[in-house]
Chains A and B, each alone.
Chain A
Amino acid sequence: MSPAKLSFRTRYVRTANLLFAIFLLIQFLPNRISKADAPGYAVGFAVIAEAALLCASALATKKTGLCLIADIAAFLYALLIAWTLATAKFNLTKEMLFPPPGIVFRQLAEDVPQLGRHIGSSLALIAQGYLLALAAALPLGLVLGYSARIGNAAAYVAKFLGAIPPVVYIPYGIALLPSFRSVSVLVIFLASFWPILAATMSGVLLVERRIVDSARVLNVGRLTMLFRIILSAALPQILIGCSQGLTVSFILLTSAEMIGARSGMGFYVKNYSDLGNYTRTIVGVLVVGIVISAVFFAFNKLQKFLLRWR
Chain B
Amino acid sequence: MTGSRKDKIILQNLTVSYEEKGGLFTALDDISFGVADGEFVSVIGSSGCGKSTLLSVLEGLLRPSGGSALIDGAPISGPGPDRGVVFQSYSLFPWMTARKNVAFGIKHARRELKRAEVYRIADEYLEKVGLSDSRGRYPSRLSGGMQQRVAIARALAMDTDILLMDEPFGAVDAKNRVQLQEMLLDLWGHEARRKTVVFITHDIDEAIFLSDRVVMLTESPGRVYRDIHVPFPRPRDRSGLLGSSVYVEFRRDVTALFFGDKTGETEDDWVKI
Contacts and interface: CB of A to CB of B under 8 A. Distances in A.
Interface of A: 208, 210-211, 213-220, 224, 228-229, 232-233, 235, 308-310
Given A213-B59, A229-B93, 20 more contacts: A208-B90, A210-B90, A214-B85, A214-B91, A214-B92, A215-B93, A216-B61, A217-B59, A217-B61, A217-B79, A217-B164, A218-B108, A218-B109, A219-B80, A219-B109, A228-B104, A235-B95, A308-B138, A309-B94, A309-B95
B140 A310 contact: yes
B83 interface: yes
Contact of B93 (A214, A217, A308): A214
Given A233-B95, A235-B95, A218 B104 contact: yes
B151 to A, nearest CB: 9
Contacts of B158: 218
Interface residues on B, range: 20 to 34
A222 to B, nearest CB: 13
Contacts of A232: 93, 95
Nearest to B80: A219
B81 interface: yes
B89 interface: yes
Contacts, number: 57
Contacts of B87: 210, 213-214
B221 interface: no
Contacts of B91: 214
Contacts of A228: 104
B105 interface: yes
B264 interface: no
B38 interface: no
20 contacts: A213-B61, A213-B87, A214-B85, A214-B90, A214-B93, A217-B59, A217-B61, A217-B83, A217-B164, A218-B79, A218-B104, A219-B80, A220-B108, A224-B108, A233-B95, A308-B138, A309-B94, A309-B138, A309-B140, A310-B94
Interface in B81-112: 81, 83, 85, 87, 89-96, 104-105, 108-109
A176 B105 CA distance: 52
A232 B91 CA distance: 15
A219 B140 contact: no
B250 to A, nearest CB: 33
A220 B140 CA distance: 23
Contact of B79 (A211, A219, A224): A219
A264 B269 CA distance: 88
Contacts of A308: 138
Nearest to B96: A309
Nearest to A209: B90
Contact of A211 (B60, B90, B140): B90
Contacts of B104: 218, 228
A157 to B, nearest CB: 29
Contacts of A235: 95
